[in-house]
Structure 1
Amino acid sequence: MLELTWPWFLLLLPIPLIRFFAPKAKPKGNGIWWMNTDELVHHQDTKLASNRFQLEPLCLTVAWILLVLAMTKPVWLGEPTKVVPSGRDLLIALDLSGSMQVSDMTLNNQSANRLEAAKSVLSDFIEARRGDRIGIIVFGSKAYLQAPLSFDTTTINQLVQEAQIGFAGEQTAIGDAIGLSIKRLEDKPSDKKVLILMTDGANTAGRVQPEQAAEFAASQNVRIHTIGIGADSMLVQSFFGSKVVNPSSDLDETLLKNIAAQTGGEYFRAKSTEDLRAIYQTLDELEPTPAEDIWQRPLTSLFHWLGLGAIAFLSLALLSNREIVWHKRSHS
């Protein structure tokens, strides 16, 4: 369906008609002019050229009509289509410190390190969040933005899979990760700012203390869900034989619980890959994507086509006028 944004410009269409209704100038005196034979031939040639190039006023008229139509800013409305509604701005802060290489998880019935398990579960979670803007922050000794907020979940997933242990350093800067997240979520609606922080350790680096960062996050209405990842027990081989150790002895659960509580989020403990999957399913319920159907009609602007048409006909009129001038000069 065609729709004119500024239809009042159509009032300009009759302007070229003024030349036809305007009073023509009358000669002031009477005179008789007799032409000789050469002038008669020249007059006939000029008349033929004039008839040949009467296309000029027609081109000018068409150019004017197209120009006025372009000024009305016409758009073509397509058929209504359903689109995925926009949900939340959701950042995921992923720990890439050296301890994430501990292989105390399982993936497809095989031993896997913590980062491999996290990537696998995150991949399914991100794909299920279509309609949200997802962003990825990675942190170790420092915090970096791996992927800005985007609806492109496919690209976000690819960037998550490309993250490797040690990219951001060997230590853990939890406070810096929260601080960077707050910066990336500023100027967003308060009910849509969410951070999921996943780590397996304690804050051992960074310029910002996690408690201070959490306090500032709460003041900015950023809700933080924290996940502590790592098994409680693990069988390791030593010189004296095998023994059971706690690979998560460095995990600061108290800190993660306080961060979540202070910002209105939840703390989760992931001791296995299955726990991690269950946690992200719970997060899907805690942070739902709006399910209301949204319909939109695609708009196709016709302005540039009409503008180009007006320029084309104006150029043709100018060329016609130039030919007339050249024809006259060739007989002079």
Structure 2
Amino acid sequence: MLEFVWPWFLIVLPIPLLARWLPSAKPSSDALWWAQSQHLIQHQDKSTSYGQSLLGKSFLWLAWILLVIAISRPTWVGEPTQVTPSGRDLLIALDLSGSMKITDMTLNQQTADRLQAAKAVLTDFIDKRRGDRIGIIVFGTKAFLQAPLSFDTKTINQLVQETQIGFAGQRTAIGDAIGLGIKRLEGKAADQKVLILMTDGANTAGRVQPSQAAAFAASQDVRIHTIGIGADSMMVRGFFGPKEVNPSSDLDEALLKDIASQTGGQYFRAKSTEDLQRIYQQLDEMEPTPSEDVWQRPVTSFFHWFALLAILNFGLSLVANNGYYLSKRGRT
């Protein structure tokens, strides 16, 4: 449906007609006498008589109409669409330390490292969080904001796929990641502050101790869900043949449980890609913050199109009048 932001401006459309109907001022012949005045008057009358063509006037009128319509700001308002936002702001802190390259996961029936499995599951999880604002924090030796809170899940997923092991350093700064998450969630409603922390190790770097960060998160009503990722056992080749090892021996489960407990969240253990998928399904089922449905109507402005057409028609009027003037002059 076409609407005008300033429809009242359309009342100026007939101004050129009104101006044409006004009586023209006639110069007094007694005011000034000049010997060449009669010649000038005749020349003026002649130039006026063939100075504008019908085509030029048409273009000029069309330019005026288009200009008035453009200033009235025409917009096309589309059909209303229903959006149901949950009101939840969800940050995901992803570990990119060196240990995430351990290949103790499977993906599409093939061996994969922990980061590959995490990215595959995260992509599906983020796609389902319609109506939520999602943000990504990556951490290693330091913590960085990879993607600010946004409804644009497509871009968020692209940024997740671009993450690589070692981008933030080889060690693990869990406390700094929590601190950055608290800062990015500052000023949000209490039931909106959710942080999902996924790591495969212990805190080995950073300026903030995880226990202190968790206590501060609890005081700021930030709920933290923690995920410990990594298999319990895997076969590796040794000097005397294959042997079984525990690739998650560095995982500090006690710390992750304490962080979740202090902040009212839950701790999850992902020993395989399937476990990780089930965990994110559980997280996906968290009840969103109740809110009223919002109806939105897409609006497209046509101001620039009408303005460009007005300028084009004004230029065409000048060209038409100039051509008409030259043709008439050539005949005289």
TM-score, L = length of structure 1: 0.77
The residue matched to 1:250 in structure 2 has which SS? coil
1:24 to 2:31 alignment: no
RMSD between aligned residues: 4.2
Match of 2:204 in 1: 204
What is the percent sequence identity of the aligned residues?
Answer: 69
The residue matched to 1:231 in structure 2 has which SS? coil
**One-letter amino acid of the structure 2 residue matched with residue 266 of structure 1:** Q
1:280 to 2:280 alignment: yes
Closer, same or farther: CA 241–310 of 1 in aligned 2, 3 Å? closer
1:53 to 2:28 alignment: no
Offset of residue 194 of structure 1: 2.5
Offset of residue 226 of structure 1: 0.8
**One-letter amino acid of the structure 2 residue matched with residue 25 of structure 1:** A
Closer, same or farther: CA 308–112 of 1 in aligned 2, 3 Å? closer
Alignment of 1:265-276 (within 5 A): 265-276=265-276
Offset of residue 254 of structure 1: 2.8
Alignment of 1:75-86 (within 5 A): 75-81=75-81, 85=85
Encode CA deviations 1:300-327: one digit per residue, 9 max, x unaligned: 2221122223323433455567679889
CA contact (8 A) 1:214 1:262 kept: yes
1:179 to 2:146 alignment: no
CA contact (8 A) 1:50 1:324 kept: no
Offset of residue 255 of structure 1: 2.2
**One-letter amino acid of the structure 1 residue matched with residue 13 of structure 2:** L
CA contact (8 A) 2:76 2:299 kept: yes
Match of 1:252 in 2: 252
Match of 1:33 in 2: none
CA contact (8 A) 2:147 2:159 kept: yes
1:68 to 2:68 alignment: yes
Match of 1:169 in 2: 169
The residue matched to 2:285 in structure 1 has which SS? helix
CA contact (8 A) 1:49 1:327 kept: no
Alignment of 1:129-208 (within 5 A): 129-186=129-186, 190-208=190-208
CA contact (8 A) 1:132 1:289 kept: no
Offset of residue 247 of structure 1: 3.5
Q: How many pairs align?
A: 326
The runs of 5 or more residues in structure 1 that have no matched partner are 31-38
**One-letter amino acid of the structure 1 residue matched with residue 120 of structure 2:** S
CA contact (8 A) 1:106 1:112 kept: yes
User: For residues 24 and 47 of structure 2, what CA distance do their matches in structure 1 show?
Assistant: 24
Q: Which moves more between the two structures, 81-90 or 171-180?
A: 81-90
Closer, same or farther: CA 269–204 of 1 in aligned 2, 3 Å? same
Closer, same or farther: CA 226–164 of 1 in aligned 2, 3 Å? same
The runs of 5 or more residues in structure 2 that have no matched partner are 31-38
CA contact (8 A) 2:50 2:328 kept: no
**One-letter amino acid of the structure 1 residue matched with residue 141 of structure 2:** S
1:223 to 2:223 alignment: yes
Offset of residue 44 of structure 1: 9.4
Closer, same or farther: CA 322–235 of 1 in aligned 2, 3 Å? closer
